[in-house]
């Protein structure tokens, strides 16, 4: 009999059947019913296991043989529910998918405040029907799902990693390698990394000013060279909103000047917490910019996905 085993599925190629699979030396464990996890996760756990085992069982007989193992694990974890066989395994395919923005506040049983309820009230208060971002930030597009807080082991490991990584003296770090220091575009800090920068474009003809907010995880000098390339080559004119505006001025034969500055310096994407303070800071500055008519950035940039997350995937290594 020829068998093929995957992560949690075993195929019998002779009988054309499949069943759930468990590694012999790796016992299955589930979170305890009394653990400090959101109630929705604890409530949904038996149902999700039931659905998974049903999908991995080709018939009722195989499901019943495997269900005793998982029911015992659920019972030892404090759950009273038992998984049952579901004859209908067909999924209802949705015709339309919405772009959902998820808000994941940390959950703890020691917190009595309803964070999700207060958050939705703030959405209605600050992004009313007359607000320019109402189509993006409203209850139909925003969902709340609590996330579990870090345990003590994870907190200590994160602290130790931060302390051990601070081995370079900031005072000895080279922040500029320009030959003529007075011509540095960022006032002697062109080699700064993980920054949110600001570009003020002044139209010398009518004395008007447009502002562009951007970010760079690499050095600013590398990002500045990319901007300069888009300013000089017509085929790259649509690379950014800044390059589009520069080419509009060029087509109108108007003189302009650009001044660069650091708006904020923060940490980049963290694969442990799965958060990017760099992208969040850029979006925060765009949302809170007072003179909206001067801003070149589009509102679609606020809901854009973090571009730095892909650098930590296995395919990028």
Which DSSP category does 241 fall into? H
Please indicate, yes or no, whether the overall pTM of this predicted structure exceeds 0.75: no
Query: Between 147 and 262, where is the model more confident?
Result: 262
Determine the Cα–Cα distance for residues 117 and 121; give it in Å rounded to an integer.
6
The tokens for 50 are 């039931």
Q: What is the predicted pLDDT for the residue at 14? A: 84
- Percent of the chain scoring above 90 in pLDDT: 41
Angle at 103 between CA 101 and CA 108, to 5 degrees: 160
pLDDT tens digits, 39-74: 888 999 999 999 999 988 988 899 999 999 999 999
pLDDT band at 169 (very low <50, low <70, confident <90, very high): very low
Q: What's residue 26's pLDDT?
A: 82
Q: Residue 2 pLDDT more than 70?
A: no
Range of lowest pLDDT (107-111, 150-154, 197-201): 150-154
Would you place residue 168 in the very low, low, confident or very high pLDDT band (cuts 50, 70, 90)?
Answer: very low
Residues 185, 267: contact at Cβ < 8 Å? no
pLDDT in tens, 8-17: 888 888 888 8
Radius of gyration of the chain (CA): 27
The ranges assigned to domains in the chain are 3-76, 101-148, 174-316
């Amino acid at each position: 009999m020829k068998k093929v085993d995957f992560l949690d599925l075993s195929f019998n190629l002779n009988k054309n059947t499949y069943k759930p699979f468990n590694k012999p030396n790796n016992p299955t464990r589930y979170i305890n019913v009394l653990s400090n996890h959101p109630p929705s996760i604890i409530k949904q756990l038996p149902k999700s296991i039931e659905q998974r085992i049903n999908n991995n069982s080709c018939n009722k007989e195989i499901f019943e043989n495997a269900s005793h193992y998982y029911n015992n694990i659920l019972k030892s974890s404090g759950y009273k529910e038992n998984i049952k066989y579901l004859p209908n395994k067909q999924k209802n395919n949705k015709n339309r998918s919405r772009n959902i923005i998820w808000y994941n506040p940390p959950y703890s049983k020691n917190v009595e405040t309803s964070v999700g309820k207060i958050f939705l009230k703030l959405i209605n208060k600050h992004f009313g029907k007359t607000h320019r971002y109402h189509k993006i930030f409203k209850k139909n597009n925003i969902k709340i799902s609590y996330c579990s807080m870090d345990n003590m082991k994870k907190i200590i490991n994160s602290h130790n990693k931060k302390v051990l990584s601070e081995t370079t003296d900031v005072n000895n770090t080279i922040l500029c390698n320009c030959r003529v220091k007075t011509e540095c575009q960022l006032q002697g800090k062109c080699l700064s990394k993980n920054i949110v920068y600001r570009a003020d474009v002044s139209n010398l003809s009518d004395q008007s000013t447009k502002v562009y907010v951007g970010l760079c995880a690499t050095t600013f000098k590398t990002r500045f060279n990319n901007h300069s390339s888009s300013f000089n080559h017509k085929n790259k004119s649509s690379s950014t909103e800044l390059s589009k505006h520069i080419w509009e001025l060029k087509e109108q034969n108007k003189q302009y000047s650009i001044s660069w500055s650091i708006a904020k310096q923060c940490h980049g994407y963290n694969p442990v917490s799965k958060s990017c303070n760099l992208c969040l800071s850029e979006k925060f500055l765009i949302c809170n910019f007072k003179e909206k008519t001067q801003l070149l950035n589009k509102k679609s940039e606020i809901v854009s996905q973090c571009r730095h997350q892909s650098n930590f995937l296995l395919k990028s290594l």
